[in-house]
């Protein structure tokens, strides 16, 4: 299961990705927000991070206007490796090299088709381990 959340700036992209993932048979847990009414992204970053920390979800997706603020907020949580991406190569490398457990996207800067390609690349790419695992361990110390 993938946890998904957004603020108002990422709401429409979040809704698109929920439908897209469901169409691929992937179960999604939506932690909010639930409209385009102005709200604050840190609470949704925290909600997705907590789902991962508690083992309720293996991965998460977060969207805000640019993806920047929500990625910063998510990375404040222990054990979270949130990667802001804008194209599939970076999404793939976020998995392969960084074992990113949250993918962040910008609803105002990333179109639906490109966002779907990023999600696919991120989900389809396996973590390489090895020297990359050593680096992640250093971040967790």
* Cβ atoms of residues 97 and 128 within 8 Å: yes
* The predicted structure's pLDDT at residue 86: 97
* The predicted structure's pLDDT at residue 93: 98
State the pLDDT confidence band at 24, using cuts at 50, 70 and 90. very high
Provide the domain limits for residue 109.
2-140
Catalytic hit among 97, 104, 118, 132: 97
β-bridge partners, 29: 3
Whether 39 sits among the annotated catalytic residues: the reply is: no
pLDDT > 90? residue 139: no
**What does the pLDDT look like over 103-129, one tens digit per residue?**
999 999 999 999 999 999 999 999 999
pLDDT > 80? residue 102: yes
* The predicted structure's pLDDT at residue 141: 74
| φ and ψ of 23, to 5 deg | -65, -20
Whether 64 sits among the annotated catalytic residues: the reply is: yes
pLDDT > 90? residue 39: yes
The DSSP element (H or E) to which 3 belongs, if any, is strand 2-6
Q: What is the mean pLDDT of the chain?
A: 97
CATH of the domain at 34: 3.40.1400.10
In total, how many domains does the chain have? Answer: 1
Catalytic hit among 33, 39, 57, 64: 64
Dihedral-angle region of residue 71 (phi above 0 means left; psi in -120 to 50 means alpha; beta otherwise)? alpha
Could you write out the DSSP letters of every residue in 35-80?
SSS---HHHHHHHHHHHHHTTS-SEEEEEESSSHHHHHHHTTSTT-
**What does the pLDDT look like over 40-92, one tens digit per residue?**
999 999 999 999 999 999 999 999 999 999 999 999 999 999 999 999 999 99
Strand pairing report for 59-64 and 82-84: unpaired
């Amino acid at each position: 299961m993938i946890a998904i959340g957004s603020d108002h700036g990422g709401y429409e992209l979040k809704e698109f990705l929920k439908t897209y993932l469901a169409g691929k048979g992937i179960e999604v847990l939506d932690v909010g927000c639930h409209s385009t009414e102005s709200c604050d992204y840190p609470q949704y970053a925290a909600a997705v991070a907590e789902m991962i920390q508690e083992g309720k979800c293996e991965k998460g997706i977060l969207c805000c206007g640019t993806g920047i603020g929500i990625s910063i907020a998510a990375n404040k949580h222990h054990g979270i490796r949130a990667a802001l991406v804008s194209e599939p190569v970076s999404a793939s490398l976020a998995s392969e090299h960084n074992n990113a457990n949250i993918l962040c996207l910008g609803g105002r800067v990333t179109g639906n088709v490109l966002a779907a390609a990023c999600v696919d690349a991120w989900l389809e790419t396996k973590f390489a381990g090895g020297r990359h695992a050593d680096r992640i361990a250093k971040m967790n110390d």
